[in-house]
Structure 1
Amino acid sequence: MLPNEMPRLQHGPVVLRAFESRDAALVQAAASDELIPLITTVPVSGTHEEALAFISRQHDRLFTRTGYSFAIADAVSGEAVGQIGLSLRDIEQGRASTGYWVARAHRGRGYVTAALQALTVWAFELDEVERLQLYVEPWNRASWQAAERCGFQREGLLRSWQQIGGTRKDMYVYSRIRQDPSIPTASS
């Protein structure tokens, strides 16, 4: 059964937790990134009020049962460095999807891989999730390498899959299946 409360997950250098108002500065920093606002709901404006509205929308995902949106926080300092989510749009078919971003100042430190591993292990503890998938632009090598490090397999290229910044973009589709014995688990 899907939890009614946001869990707190930890793996290596990260803690996945609910967004807090103190994370508005992270959202404001992400708003200035050239890509994050194009592929997420991070506001382009970067105002404090818009950042708080973004945080409120992340909380709404739990209450509307459309998914879970976690702040990726450094396990030592508690500072939020990014976001990772679990979308439940297709949960009635046993499918969930994930997406993530880390602010530029925090990239290259293993946060995405650790966050994706924590989310994946937790997702497969939910009876409803049989398949977890994600989509990555082919040029985003760091992102698809993180997915591969977490046991996701590339299934193919979806041509002209999504409109980003007014242009149709190709996406790689990756997945992990619950029954795959080669996939690392929480005890791995």
Structure 2
Amino acid sequence: MTEDEARSWFAERFAAERVERVARFLEVVRDESTRQNLVAASTLPNLWFRHGVDSGQLVELAEGRDGVWVDIGTGGGFPGMVVAILRDAPVWLIEPRQKRATFLRDAADALGLSNVRVEQKRAESVPPAPPASIVSARAVAALPALFGGAAHLVDRETLWLLPKGRSARSEVEALAGSWQGVFHVKHSLTDPESLIVIARGISPA
């Protein structure tokens, strides 16, 4: 997928105003990357493809769910900021690093995103709230650490959307005896060898 094809992917699925906000956010990332390492430098020429579509595809997988979306380890804004642009429901961005949390707050303000809440904490330190409808985490930690760290933020109805690269199937298999639920592994649009874990009904075994 080229950068033009990635832009077209957004244009075919989302309102023009939202696509324009995605474009503005990607430019904010590009600019801020001259001051801090938000994304791998090698991906800067392909932000729409490598980070935009990679994040936006999760919105399609959310099956039209409303409610709070919690993004763990948002870092430079992926997928959480893109999710917040593409949907109106609340999005919590959990990012423990101060400099990146400040960037996320400033970017949300600059884009007029009133649905964003930034928590500068580790997931396990975020105060419990009504259970998240959706949880995402992009290459943040192994599945047991994700499930354990966010256990107080979810219930059995929560949908987990977890881009895991090539390790997805082995990580799911390694959960046997520790965590249970319904798991599906799907290929990412941005890399045929990268996989996304989709999970529901998660609880300790």
Q: Same fold (TM over 0.5)?
A: no
Give me the TM-score of the superposition, normalised by structure 2: 0.33
TM-score by length of 1: 0.35
Which of the two has greater strand per residue?
1
